[in-house]
């Protein structure tokens, strides 16, 4: 019984991953049971053993994206004790798996996904708020430790952080990946501007004083 449950969970994850890749590449309109089955390498009837239809597959995609985003936050917190470094690592993780961010605008701007009711819209909202909440916890720790400015609300900083990576995803979405954009370079420049703007000023002054060989102006 345990082996069967594991097999079911793995198959559901495979289906959700396949659907995620389809949406990221071609949009929600291209999502179908047949397309997902082909991507996984199984017959369409096998999909229906795990999901009743396209809407449930889409819900599984949203759950998968949410899990990926929150897992990234957990991972960077384990990698570094420094809040600002955690945010930088988190940004790098997002760029390396930008497909998850491409999916969000595709779903949010899709009449197929949102035209039938509020259920999908609500799930997208819950996903984003859960992610922002996790990012806010990193920011809140940075503020408490004096690494991040306290005069900017943590929720505003979290939204600003999301704005650093989302434009690259939007460009990928709007141009179907045909426009050659050095996402890594632009993101690193944006990170420097963002991190400088939220870093605690007293910390900036201490770092400046500690810089060896710096001439006094």
199 SS3 class = strand
Ranges of each domain in the chain: 54-210
pLDDT digits (tens, 9 = 90+) for 38-68: 999 999 999 999 999 988 998 898 898 889 8
Q: Give pLDDT, residue 176.
A: 60
Q: Is 2 exposed, middle or buried (0-12, 13-18, 19+ CB in 10 A)?
A: exposed
- Joined together, the tokens standing for residue 199 give 């870093």
CATH code assigned to 54-210: 1.10.357.10
pLDDT in tens, 123-144: 888 888 999 999 999 999 999 9
Strand ranges in the chain using DSSP code E only, listed in sequence order: none
How many angstroms separate the CA atoms of 21 and 174, rounded?
16
pLDDT, tens digit, 9 for 90 and up, residues 74-101: 999 999 999 999 999 999 888 776 655 5
Angstrom distance (rounded) from CA 59 to CA 37: 17
Give the Cβ contact number of residue 53 at 10 Å. Answer: 11
């Amino acid at each position: 019984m345990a082996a069967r449950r594991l097999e079911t969970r793995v198959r559901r994850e495979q289906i959700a991953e396949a659907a995620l890749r389809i949406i990221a590449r071609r949009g929600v309109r291209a999502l179908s049971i047949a397309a997902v089955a082909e991507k996984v390498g199984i017959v369409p009837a096998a999909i229906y053993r795990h999901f009743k239809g396209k809407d449930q597959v889409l819900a599984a995609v949203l759950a998968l994206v949410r899990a990926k985003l929150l897992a990234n936050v957990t991972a960077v917190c384990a990698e570094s004790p420094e809040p600002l470094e955690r945010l930088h690592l988190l940004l790098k993780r997002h760029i390396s798996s930008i497909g998850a961010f491409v999916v969000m605008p595709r779903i949010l701007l899709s009449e197929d996904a949102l035209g039938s009711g509020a259920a999908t819209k609500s799930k997208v909202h819950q996903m984003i708020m859960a992610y922002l909440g996790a990012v806010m916890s990193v920011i809140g720790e940075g503020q408490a430790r004096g690494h991040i400015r306290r005069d900017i609300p943590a929720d505003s900083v979290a939204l600003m952080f999301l704005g650093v990576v989302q434009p690259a995803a939007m460009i990928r979405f709007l141009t179907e990946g045909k426009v050659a954009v050095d996402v890594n370079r632009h993101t690193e420049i944006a990170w420097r501007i963002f991190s400088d703007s939220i870093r605690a000023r007293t910390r900036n002054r201490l770092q400046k004083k500690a810089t060896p060989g710096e001439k006094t102006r």
